[in-house]
Structure 1
Amino acid sequence: MSKYSTQFKQSAIQAFLKRGRGFRHIAALFQIDPTLLRRWVMSYQLHGEASFEKPGGHYSSEFKLSVLYRMWREKLSLRATAALFNLGNSSQVRRWEEQYYSGGFQALSSSKKILVNPMPKAPRKPEETAPKPIEELTHAELLKRLRQL
């Protein structure tokens, strides 16, 4: 479920378009982020009422690649590309671009995230002696144990 209703989005977009004020001013009136309002307005100007339909689902590798090629060819921003194709947001386009750069066309077809260099976990240090009851520890030992935790 979307955080903002379609009616709320329409009200914010219409306020921006009719009042002729800046994104920040209108966004402050509606208590939303100006970037979010900018994305809604751009998408609405390109797609009209269809911009309110919930994006999502599975996109084919060919579609993802065509989105990336169009973005690169026309030197579009991530935000403009997402609005042009009525995608949820620009981070989705960024993910596709990262997938393409890391593994080419085949990486776009994989729905699994690929970890390039996962960081190894640091080995646990074994305890030197059997733990004493807390009541028997000295002040220095208590501080050392606290730092370890």
Structure 2
Amino acid sequence: MGKYSEETKLAVVKDYCSGTAGLKVVARRHDVDVTSLRKWVAGYRSHGAAGVREKARATYRSRPDSDRHVGLLYQRWDG
């Protein structure tokens, strides 16, 4: 989970989109990073509420699979 809940992100974005204050003022008002708010607003404008949801992160393979790849590289190198 990220630092901010989806509800918080959406509330901050809606506050900014209401047009009553600029990006920096809204970010300060809600104690969020300006860069984060800018990304949330862009996501909201492109995809609506879904644009501020937590993104799924890539999963990484376990170590044994990596060892298999190293073994294959050595096989190719040895000829």
TM-score (norm 1): 0.36
Task: Answer 1 or 2: higher relative contact order, Cα 8 Å, separation at least 6.
Answer: 2
Q: Deviations over 1:39-73 (max 9, x none)?
A: 10001100112213332344xxxxxxxxxxxxxxx
**Structure 2 residues without counterparts, runs of 5 or longer:** 59-79
Cα RMSD of the aligned pairs, angstroms, is 1.8
Structure-to-structure mapping, 1:43-122, within 5 angstroms:
43-58=43-58
| Identical columns (%) | 29
Shift of 1:17: 0.5
Structure 1 segments (4+ residues) deviating >2 Å: none
Structure-to-structure mapping, 1:19-34, within 5 angstroms:
19-34=19-34
Distance in 1, matches of 2:33 and 2:57, equals 25
Number of residue-to-residue matches in the alignment: 59
Structure with bigger gyration radius: 1
Distance in 2, matches of 1:35 and 1:54, equals 16
* Larger proportion of helix: 2
**Structure 1 residues without counterparts, runs of 5 or longer:** 59-149
